[in-house]
Structures are given as structure tokens and as C-alpha cells.
Amino acid sequence: MNPSSPSPASFAASGPLKGRVRVPGDKSISHRSLMLSALAVGRSTVRGLLEGEDVLATAAAMRAMGATIDRGDNGIWTIHGVGVGGLLQPQAALDMGNSGTSTRLLMGLVASHPITATFTGDASLSGRPMGRVIEPLSQMGADITASPGGRLPLMLRGLCPAVPIEYRLPMASAQVKSAVLLAGLNTPGITRVIEPIATRDHSERMLTGFGADLTIENDETGARVIAIRGEAELRPQDIVVPGDPSSAAFPMVAALLVPGSDVVIENVGINPTRAGLIEVLQAMGGDITLTNERVVGGEPVADLHVRHSMLSGIEVDPGIAPSMIDEFPILFVAAALARGRTVTRGLEELRVKESDRIALMAEGLAAIGARVTETEDGLIIDGTGGEALPGGAPIAAKLDHRIAMSFAVAGLVSAANVMVDDMTPVATSFPQFAALMTSLGAQIS
């Protein structure tokens, strides 16, 4: 991504969206499949890998630390791993681009290896705090020197052997949980993470699939206690990555909002720790049917049949937030077209994503005519009852891919075009977004 060359695009109301589409591979699973394959001894393959910039940053980092990673002409990726404990000293800084997931999870991997790595990123990533990962990894013995505010660039000196810890997550975060578990892979003894509020469990599923000794229990308070025994030997795997539910969210909401639409989104991961948006939209009256449900590589998958629906505003249970934290920007767009009021709370984490997503969505939605009130931890939105938004105002996406795609969908249900100032960040997670939406009938110029 070249920040000096923004790529604006205009999104306009269109006729009904129709067709069958597939979204790119799940970003969370793609990251983890590369990392764990690189730590297995032998040859793993990955089909359906998301080939966005974030995941490619992970691939480049694992290559820099000794793994052999190749993409075949057939789209199948082959990884020859170095084994747990076998990561090599990278010869240059690891450039994470815009990927917070790559940064936090790789910090965990490096923390228990006898190597030093410098992590850098783009302007957006360099503004994101890493303190909540630095804290537990420092307890395990890693020596971390960060820029002011716990930000990138930072240098991490791993400790081997690292110190096993029992760490209670102060706030729900799959990335922090995963960073500690990955550090625990090469740490003697048992490392435990206590998770009061369940978050996405791709790391636990995939670690188990690769052969790690991992257990999950509930303590007397109901919190999940995830324990991993270190000095693991991981077995190579053949992985099939399901479609990313966070990417499927955009055509799904578009089909619900654009009158007459009837869309099938194939091969979408419906892991319960990720499927909160489907549950909320159905509660709002969204016509979303799960068909062809199956399990692929330990992950539940289905096709989503979505038809235009009149949505009704609801109070969203804050407890569901971890299972749809990346989908709130597009939910806010859906709420803006719903009948009645939608209230969201408990979304503080959205303020430290690629951007302050609460503030940006409030500002942008207000600019295109939505009735929105920003609170400390969420938004209150009074919907139009299905009437098109006025639109017409330009949107500054602030290098945030989900903000850009959310306002692209808003443009499809606005009376006047919505211009998004820069769609290049979309390449981090959904490079085919514009082509996919156009194939369904969306008007983009």
C-alpha cells in the first residue's frame, strides 16, 4: 500500500443485489495457519489463504525467521517449518504494515525464543498501543523496548527458557490470549490464560489440531482457563481456510438493506466466537438462512442465504461484542436504515483499532444524514425505517479498511453518492471487495 497514492471511489444506489459469491479466506485463521505451520516440523499446506497485505506481512516475517513458505500456481501454499524453538534471528526489522494481529501474535512467538526482533508498521499501526501484550510477555521474561505509549517501532528480546505464567485477561482480547499461548509453546511447564469473557477461539482449535497439549476448563467463576504445555512438538497439517465472516459482513448487510436483493455467500466460517453479527441481524429481523452447514478443518462452515429485510432497532447485548468486534462498523450502517432505535454499549476496544471506529462511524454517519449519538462506549442510532440516507458527503476512512467498506455499503442505500476518500486500505483484508460487490450489481465509480 502506497500512502501517497490514495484511491477514492464513489458508491451509489443500485438495483437489487443478486448472485452467489465467495469472500476471501478468514484473516484470523490465515495468520495462525502460517505461524503454526512454520513451527511444525515438516511440510504443511494451506488452501484458501487470505492473500491480503496483513497475512502477507505474517508470511514475510515467518520467512525472515527461517520458515520456507511458497505459493503454488494452484493457489495452495506450502510451508516447511523449523520446529518449536527453531526460529532464527531475523536479519532486518519485521515490517508489519497495517496488521495488528501479525504484530501481537508474532511478539508472542518471539518472546520465548533466544532472538531479538524489531517490529515496525505503517502510520496507522504505529499509532496503536501494544501495552496489553507487552505486559504479560514481560512477565514471561521478554525484554521489550517500545516507542512512547507502548507503540511501534519496538524491539523485543526473547528469553529462552521463558517463565510460564498464569495470566488473567484484564479485557476481552483474542490477540492477547493468543500471544501468551504462542509464547507458552516454547516455554517449559504450563502457561495458563484465564479469560473471563470468551473471545474467538481459532488459536485453541488450531493449536489442538497441530498437536499441542492444550486444555480448556471453566473455573468457579465461569471463566475459561486455557492451559498449554510448553516445549511442544507440532505436527504438519493440511489446512482449508473458510471464508472470513468479517468480510462476509459487508455483502450480507448490503443484501439486507438494498430492496429486492437475494444473495448467497458461500463457504463462510460460522465459529460461534465469530458469528455474533449474524445473531444480531437475525434478532433485528434480518432474513439470513444458514444452509449446507458442515465442519472443515475443525471449523464450522455454512453458506449464507440473505434476502432484503426491514430491520428493527434493538439494544445489543454487550456480552456479544467479542464475537463481532470487527463487525460493529457495518452493523452501525444497518442500524441507520432500521426502524426505531439501536443502542450499542461496551465497545471501548473499538477506540483502539485501526482507527477510533466509534468516533469515525459517528462522524461519517452524521455527515451522510443518519441520526447518531456518540457515547463513551458505543453509539445510539435512530434509523430511517428503510428510507435512503441523504448521502452526498465525502468520507475520510483514515486508513481503516472496515470504515472504508462500511461507508461503501452505506453509499448503496443513499440518495446521493457517497465518496470514500481512499479504498487502498481494503487490500489488507478484502482485495476483491469492489469486484465482488460489482458482480452482485453494486454501482461503483
Q: The cell 521489550 sits on which residue?
A: 144
Cα–Cα dist 136/145, whole Å: 14
Cα–Cα dist 62/108, whole Å: 13
3-state secondary structure of 94: strand
Give the single-character DSSP code of 428. Answer: G
Find the helix or strand (DSSP H, E) in which 108 lies. helix 100-111
Find the helix or strand (DSSP H, E) in which 126 lies. helix 123-126
Cα–Cα dist 381/77, whole Å: 43
Q: Can you spell out the DSSP letters for 12-72?
A: E--S--EEEEEPPBPHHHHHHHHHHHHHBEEEEEEES---SHHHHHHHHHHHHTT-EEEE-
3-state secondary structure of 134: helix
Cα–Cα dist 235/428, whole Å: 29
Q: Is 326 a catalytic residue?
A: yes
Q: The cell 526460529 sits on which residue?
A: 87
Give residues with Cβ within 8 angstroms of 333, minimum separation 6: 253, 257, 365, 406, 407, 409, 410, 413
Would you state the cell numbers that stand for residue 302, as one nine-digit string?
Answer: 455454512
Long-range contact pairs involving 166-169 (C-beta distance under 8 Å, separation at least 24): 166/191, 166/192, 166/194, 167/136, 167/139, 167/191, 167/192, 167/193, 167/194, 168/193, 168/194, 168/196, 168/223, 169/193, 169/194, 169/195, 169/196, 169/197
Active-site residue, selected from the candidate residues 54, 201, 303, 326: 326
| Burial of 18 from C-beta contacts in 10 A (0-12 / 13-18 / 19+) | middle
Provide the pairing of β-strand 394-395 with 378-382: unpaired
Cα–Cα dist 96/81, whole Å: 20
Cα–Cα dist 50/224, whole Å: 29
Cα–Cα dist 105/175, whole Å: 6
Instruction: Report, as residue numbers or ranges, the catalytic residues.
Output: 326
